[in-house]
Amino acid sequence: MKNKELKVGLFAAIALGLLYLGFNFLKGKDFFEHKKKYYAVYDNINQLTKSNPVLVNGYAVGRVSKTRLLQQKNNRVLVELEIDADITLTRDTKAILNSEFLGSKYLLLEIGKSPVKLKQGDTLITEVAKGMFDVLSETAEPVASDLQTTLRKFNTALDDLGQFFKKLDIIVTKLQTTPDLLNKTLVTTNGRIDELAVSLKTDAEKTATLLDEMKPVIANLKIASDSLKRLQLNQTLHKVNLTIASLNESLGKLKKRDNTMGRLLTEDSLYVNLNKLLISLDKLSEHINTNPKHFFAPLGKSRSKVERDLKKLEEEKKKSAAKK
Domain ranges within the chain, ordered by starting residue: 27-130, 257-291
pLDDT at 191: 73
Predicted pLDDT at 2: 60
> Is the Cα torsion angle 200, 201, 203, 204 positive or negative in sign?
positive
Long-range contacts, stretch 249-253, CB < 8 angstroms, 24+ apart: none
Is the whole-model pTM more than 0.75? no
Write the Ramachandran bin of 18: left for phi over 0, alpha for psi from -120 to 50, otherwise beta. Answer: alpha
Q: Which of 51, 75, 78 is nearest to 67 (CA)?
A: 78
Per-residue pLDDT of the chain (324 residues; tens, 9 = 90+): 567 777 777 778 788 877 776 766 665 555 555 788 999 999 988 888 888 999 999 898 989 989 999 999 899 999 999 998 888 899 999 999 988 766 688 899 989 888 998 888 899 999 988 654 454 455 556 666 777 787 777 778 777 777 877 787 788 777 667 777 777 777 777 777 777 777 888 878 878 787 777 777 777 777 766 666 666 667 777 777 788 877 777 777 666 666 666 666 666 666 677 777 788 777 776 766 666 665 655 555 566 676 777 777 778 777 777 776
Gap between the Cα atoms of 241 and 249, Å rounded: 13
Chain-centroid distance, C-alpha 241: 80
> Residues 6 or more apart from 270 whose CB is under 8 A from it?
263, 264
Distance CA 73, CA 282 (A): 129
pLDDT at 38: 93
Pairing of strands 35-42, 76-84: antiparallel
Query: Does residue 86 sit in helix, strand or coil?
Result: coil
Tell me what pLDDT residue 322 has.
76
Helix (H) or strand (E) holding 309: helix 303-323
Dist CA 95 CA 259 (whole Å): 141
Q: Which residues lie closer than 8 Å to 253 by C-beta, 6 or more apart?
A: 259, 261, 262
Contact, 89 vs 99, CB < 8 A? no
